[in-house]
Every structure is written in structure tokens, then in C-alpha cells.
Structure 1
Amino acid sequence: MNWEQLLSLKRYGDKNKRLRIEQDETRLGFEVDYDRIIFSSAFRSLQDKTQVIPLSKTSFVHTRLTHSLEVSVVGRSLGRAVGKQILEKHPHLSTIHGYRFNDFGAIVAAAALAHDIGNPPFGHSGEKAIGEYFKTGSGIRYKDQLTPKQYRDLVDFEGNANGFKILTESREGIEGGLRLSYATLGAFMKYPKESLPKKPTKHIAHKKFGYFQNEKDFFEQVAKEVGLLTHKVGNEVTYSRHPLTFLVEAADDICYTIIDFEDGINLGLIEEEYALEYLIKLVKDTINTSKYNNLVTTADRLSYLRSLAINTLIQEAAGIFIENEEKILSGQFDTALIDKSKYDAQINDIIKISIDKIYQSQEVIEKEIAGYEILATLLDRYCIATDNYSLDKASNYDKLILKAEGDNFDYTNEDLYTRLIGVCKYVASLTDGNALLKFQKIRGLQV
């Protein structure tokens, strides 16, 4: 892979190549990507979607929106740090093509801003709830009517693939979705493969999948434009990651490691003194002990340690990227950047505590249980109504359900898979609160 191609400014529908040297510096194309994402309705919905605690009404707990904004800020710093060194190593990118180190930051910031845009309500349990509806619930009836890959898209419903769909899907009057630059879309594609084969290797890019069957053609168009390497796995083709995807992933890893831990402390799920000790271990090489000891409140001490920890891991991740640039460009780097960190033991200690004390806390478990019931009910009602409509057997109740949802999903499409993936996309687009409200109305608990 080469950087000139990887930094493509091309957008859906472009007939001519967009040259960086001809860009308007007051509103760079990569910065336009950021603007289009942040003003989208899909991004705004993240304000009422779970990051750690589903349906939490506590003001200081992160939502998907605040998490995404923080990941974007960290991603921008990572991109700039790496971009500066890339341009020093490959000066022609700047002198001939006009690229600046801020371009790298803008691409990573935009992709990071969108990294959770396809995630369903109720956190990662929302993905599992949608998948289990088709794997073990009423949706299993569709298995023999779909291709293996189509069915796998449903039973392993993936927020990353749904995000790619949201960012790129054409609809009436809107061609190419948000029409982001192909560089940003490439950096967004964390798992550049189809749902099958499932985890064909231990490569980090094969952990999950990154696009549904309906988006395969557009995915391949983006991959070709930015020059992602292809790999054969049996009879199937997979792709190398866009190098900047590793920075998007690192920004996410840094934020959820440190900030989810902080939420756990603020919620009282993790003892303060115990938690602060673990953060101090992470920043022991850079902490100003005198400054730390002069901080009076726990909030101030926590804020200082969080800032120091994030900065420490940014510098660490950027260094690992530059050290491994050639392996990354050749598709041979197969793990997350943070997994190569000298702070790996401290990070794993913090994550283990977060799993034990936060992700598996009674409050989270109880609300995830509710999420399963809510999403299964919505999927069942929408799928039944859609099926009956396609068979010209819609009851009055089915018609009311479909009329209430309007054009939120295409229940008139003749293709079963397109109808089902459309329903899933819609249910996944709901906020935690909106999903609960629709569930209550369908159950007759609220009018």
C-alpha cells in the first residue's frame, strides 16, 4: 500500500481525481467528512445510546456520543503525531502532493467520530440481541430462505458493518449516503471482510466483519481506490486494513480503557483509592508526584491521572505505529497497536477490573436483560408485519404497525434479505429511550 493512494480525497460519484494540492485550505475535504458526520441524525442519536450503563440517567456517565467525541479527539492527536513523522519519512507527499500532517489527524478524527455510529441501543448486548433473534429466536425461520452469507450477516449482526451501511447507503434523492472521502471510509473499515468465513485467521482484521452483502460492491470500490491489499482465504477474498484504521482502533482502546474505568469510579462500582493506584502504575514514568500530592479532591486527582494516562498511551501508540510502518503497509502487522505496548500488563489489569466491577455489575446485567426483551419484541413485530405485507396477508394490526413507522424501513422491497437487513438497521438506529418507548406502545403499556 502507498500513502498517496491511501489518502484519497475521492467521494462517491466523482468523475475526476481530487488533488490535495488543489484543496481549499479553509475547508479541507477531510474536515468536511467530520462536519457531515457530526451533523447527521445517526450521530446525534448516540446521545441516548449506552456506552457502559444502559438507560443510565446519571449525568457524568458517558454515552456513545460523548465517548465518540473523546475518541475523535484522541484520534486526531494520534493522526497528527503519526502524520508528522510520515511526512518526514516520505517528503514527496508534502512537496509534490501537498499533504500536511493535519490531514492524517483529520482523517482519523472523522473515522473515529463515526466508529460507533452503527451500534444498536443497549451496548454490545444490543448486537447480540439482534443476532440471537435470528439464530435461536423466531427469526430462525428465515435461515433456509437466505444465502449462508446473508444469514450470517443477521445472526452475527455487527455494528461496524451497520455503520458502513449508514455512512454509504444511497436512498431516494441521496446518492452515496454522507459521501465521505474514501480515505475516511477506508480508515473507518475496522474489519475489511464479509461475515463468512468467520474468523478465518487470528489477524486482528478478521475478528469480526465490516460490511453487509448489500454494501459489498461499494466496499470493494473503496478498497480498490485506496489500494487495500487482497488476501485469499480458501475461496474467499479478504483485505488488509487501511493503516490509519490502527490509529482509530487505538484511540477507541485508549478511551474505553481509561474512561470506562473512570465511570466505574464515579458510579461507586470501583473503590477510589484502589482505582487510583492502578492508574498511577500506568503513568509512573511521567507523573509529577509533587503536583499530584497537591491536588485536594479525588475528582482533581482522577482528572490529572486520566489526562496523563491518555497522553502516555497516545505517545506509545504513535511510536509503535511508526516503528511498524513497513509491516503495516505490507499487511503483515496483525494485532492492535496497544497490544504491543510496554504498558500492556497495566492496561490488562485495568480492563479486568472494569469487566468484573462494571460490565458484569448487577445494574448492567439487569438492564441488558431488559434490552434483549425490548429488541426481540420490536424485531418480531416489524418482521411479521413486513412478511405479511409481502404476502398480501397483512392484518389491520400489521398495517397499523407499518403505518406508524412510515418509511423508516423498506417493507415493500421484493428481496427478503433487503427487507430484513433494513428492519435490523432501523431497530439498531433507535436510541435506548426510543426503543423502550416503542416497546411499551407495542405492548399497550403506553399510549
Structure 2
Amino acid sequence: MNWEQLLSLKRFGDKNKRLRKEQDETRLGFEVDYDRIIFSSEFRGLQDKTQVVPLSKTDFVHTRLTHSLEVSVVGRSLGRKVGQRLLEKHPHLRDAHGYQINDFGAIVAAAALAHDIGNPPFGHSGEKAIGQFFKSGDGRYFEDQLSEKEYQDLCDFEGNANGFKMLCESRAGRPGGLRLSYAVLGAFTKYPKESLPKKPTNHVADKKYGFFQSEKAEFQDLAEELGLLKRGHQDDISYARHPLAYLVEAADDICYTIIDFEDGINLGLIQEEFALEYLLNLVRHTIQTSTYNQLQSTQDRLTYLRALAINTLINEAVELFMEHEEAILNGEFPKSLMDCSQYEAQIKDIIKVSIENIYQSREVVNKELVGYKIINELLKVFTEAVINDHKNQSSHFDRLVLKVLEKQINLNQETTYELLLAVCFCISKMSDSNAILTFKKLNAAEI
């Protein structure tokens, strides 16, 4: 892969090539991408979606929106630092094409801002609830009506693929979705493959999938424009990652490792003294002891250690990226950057404590159960209504449900797969509170 193609400013529907040297320096194309994402209704919906603790009413616990903003800030720093090094190494990118350090930061920041935009209500349990509905619930009825890959899309419903759909799906009056630059869409796509085949490899790009069958053509166009390397068998759509996707992933890894841990402390799920010791182990080589000892409160000490830990991991991620740049460009780097960290043991210790004390805490598990029940019920009612309408077999109740859905779902879809995916897409855009309210209305608990 080469950087000239990977930094493409092209947008959906473009007839002419966009050149970096012709960009308005007061409003660069990659910065426009950031603006389009942050002003989108899909992004605003993240303010009421779970990050760590579902349905939390505590002010200092992160939502998907605050998490995404923080990942974007870390991503911007990663991109700028890497951009500086890349322009020193490949000066023709600046001299011949006009790329600047901030371009790399803007691409990573925009992709990182959108990295969770496709996540359904109630966190990762929401993804699992949708998948289980089709894998072993009422949705299994549709298996014989779908292709193998279409059915797998639903059984392994994936927030990353749903995010790609949100960003680039055409609809009336909005061709190409948000019309983001291809460089940003490439950096956003951490798993540039379709849902099948499930590859028994340890390559990080094979961990999940990045687009539904409904966006297959759009992704192939993206991959060709960016010059992504083909992987896998000829009939399967699988590519090497866009190199900057490694930085988006690193930004997310850094934030959820450190900040989810901080949320656990603030919620009282992790003992303060115990937690501070874990963070101290991570920053022992960079901490200024005199400064740390002057801090009086646990909150101040936690804030100091969090900032130091994030900065330490940012600098290391930059070094790792530059060390492995050639392998990354050749599609031969199979790990995430943080998996190569010299602090891997300390990071694993922190994540282990977070899993045991936060993600598997009674509070989180109980609320995930509630979310699971809500999503299952919404899927059951909505899929039945749209499929019955498609067959001209609607009951009066179905027609009432369709009144609720008519502005959110295009009922003129041609296939069962498109209708089912449209239902999942509709539910995925709901906030936690909206999903609960809709569930209550369907069950006559709120009128």
C-alpha cells in the first residue's frame, strides 16, 4: 500500500479527483469529516448509550459519547505525532502532494470519533442480544430465507459493520450518507472483511467483520480507491487494514483500559488504594514523585496518573507504529499496537481487574439482563410487523406498530434480508432510554 492512495480525499459521488494542494487551508476536507460526524443525529444519540454501566445515573460515569470524544482526542495526538514522523520519512508527501502533520491527526480523530457510532443500546450486550435473536430465538425462522452470509450478518450482528452502514448508507436526499472522505472511512474500518468466512487466525483484522452484505459494493469501491491489499480467497472479500486504523484501535484501547478503570474506581467497584497501585505500575518510569506526593486527594492523584498513563501509551504507540510501518503497509502486521507494548503485562492486569470488578459486577450484569429482554422484545414485534406487511398479512396491531416505524424504516425494501437489517438498524440507533420507553409502550406499561 502507498500513502498517496491511503490519504485519499475522495467522497462518494465525486466526478473529479480531490487534490490536497487545492484544499482550503481554513477548512480542510478531513476536518469537514469531523464536523459532519459530530453534528450528525447518529453521533448525538451516543450521549444516552452505555459505555461501562448500563442506565447509570451517576454524572461521572462515561457514556458512549464522552468515551468517543476522549478516544478522538487521543487519536488526534497519535495521528499528529505519527504524521510528523511520516513526513520526515516520506517528504514527497508534503513537498509533492501538500500533506501536513495535522492531516494525519484529523483523519484519525474523525475515524476515532465515529468508532462506536454503530453500537446499539446497552453496550456490547445489545449486539449479543440482536445476534442471539436470530441465532437461537424467534429470528431463527428466517434462516432459510437468507443467504449464508446474510444470515451470518444477523447472527453475529456487529457494531463496526453497523457503523459503516450509518456513515455511508444512501437514503432519500442524502446519497452516500455523511459523504466522508475515503481516508477516514478506511481508518474507521478496523475489520475490512465480510462476516463469512469466520477465519481461524490470530490476525487482528480477522477478529470481527466490518461491513454488512448490504454495503459490500460500497466497501469494495473504498478498498480499490485506497489501494488496500487483498487477503484471503478470491471469492471472499477480505483486505489488509488501512494503516491508520491501527492508530484508531490504539486510541480506543488506551481509553477503555485507563478510563473504564477510572469509572470503576469512581463507582466504588474497585478499591482506590488498590487501583492507584495498578496505575503506578504502568507509569513508574515517567512519574514525577515530588509532584505526585503533593497531591492531597485521591481524585487528584487519579487524574494525574490517568493523564500520565495515557501520555505514556500514546508515545509508545507512535514508536511501535513507526517501527512496524513497512510491515503494516505490506499487510503483514497481525497484532494491535498495544499487544506489542512493553507495558502489556500492566495493561492486562488492569483489564483483568476491570473485567472482574466492573464488567462482571452484579450492577452491570443485572442491567444487561434488562437490556437483553428489551431488545429481544423490540426485535420480535418489529420484525413480525414489517414481514407481515411485506406479505400483505398485517394484523391491526402490526399496522399500529408500522405507524411508529414508518419514518424510521423504508418498508419498500425488496428482500427479507434488507427488511430485517432495517429493523436492526432502527433499533441500533435508539438510545438506552428510548429503547426502554418503546418497550414500555408496547407492553402497556406507559401510555
Structure 2 partner of 1:291:
291
Whether the 8 Å contact between 1:389 and 1:412 is mirrored in structure 2 is: no
SS in 1 for 2:231: strand
Structure 2 partner of 1:88:
88
Structure 2 partner of 1:267:
267
SS in 1 for 2:120: coil
Structure 2 partner of 1:368:
368
Matches within 5 A, 1:11-160: 11-160=11-160
CA distance in 1, matches of 2:362, 2:31: 42
1:238 aligns with 2:238: yes
CA distance in 1, matches of 2:7, 2:118: 24
Query: Which letter maps to 2:413?
Result: N
Q: CA RMSD in A?
A: 0.7
Matches within 5 A, 1:36-435: 36-233=36-233, 235-435=235-435
SS in 1 for 2:434: helix
1:234 shift after superposition: 7.1
CA distance in 2, matches of 1:44, 1:406: 22
CA distance in 2, matches of 1:412, 1:15: 29
The Cα offsets for residues 245-281 of structure 1, whole Å up to 9 and x where unpaired, read as 0000000000000000000000000000000000000
1:391 shift after superposition: 1.2
Runs of at least 5 residues in structure 1 that lack an aligned partner in the other structure: none
SS in 1 for 2:232: strand
CA distance in 2, matches of 1:201, 1:273: 39
Whether the 8 Å contact between 1:200 and 1:233 is mirrored in structure 2 is: no
Runs of at least 5 residues in structure 2 that lack an aligned partner in the other structure: none
Query: Runs of 4 or more off by more than 6 Å in structure 1?
Result: none
1:198 shift after superposition: 1.0
1:367 shift after superposition: 0.5
Query: Which letter maps to 1:277?
Result: E
CA distance in 2, matches of 1:20, 1:432: 41
1:412 shift after superposition: 3.0
1:231 shift after superposition: 1.4
Q: Identity over aligned residues, as a percent?
A: 66
Query: Bigger shift: 412-421 or 303-312?
Result: 412-421
CA distance in 1, matches of 2:412, 2:403: 12
1:414 shift after superposition: 2.6
Query: Which letter maps to 2:203?
Result: H
CA distance in 2, matches of 1:443, 1:144: 30
CA distance in 2, matches of 1:185, 1:234: 23
1:201 shift after superposition: 2.1
Query: Bigger shift: 111-120 or 191-200?
Result: 191-200
The Cα offsets for residues 181-225 of structure 1, whole Å up to 9 and x where unpaired, read as 000000000100000001342210010000000100000001110
CA distance in 2, matches of 1:393, 1:406: 17
Whether the 8 Å contact between 1:162 and 1:212 is mirrored in structure 2 is: yes
1:233 shift after superposition: 3.4
1:387 shift after superposition: 1.1
SS in 2 for 1:56: coil
TM-score (norm 1): 0.99
SS in 2 for 1:215: helix
Query: Which letter maps to 2:371?
Result: G
CA distance in 1, matches of 2:144, 2:405: 28
Structure 2 partner of 1:442:
442
SS in 2 for 1:232: coil
SS in 2 for 1:274: helix
1:438 shift after superposition: 0.3
Query: Which letter maps to 1:11?
Result: R
TM-score (norm 2): 0.99
Aligned length: 447
CA distance in 2, matches of 1:357, 1:301: 21
Query: Which letter maps to 2:372?
Result: Y
Whether the 8 Å contact between 1:50 and 1:121 is mirrored in structure 2 is: yes
The Cα offsets for residues 410-447 of structure 1, whole Å up to 9 and x where unpaired, read as 23323110000000011011000100000000001001
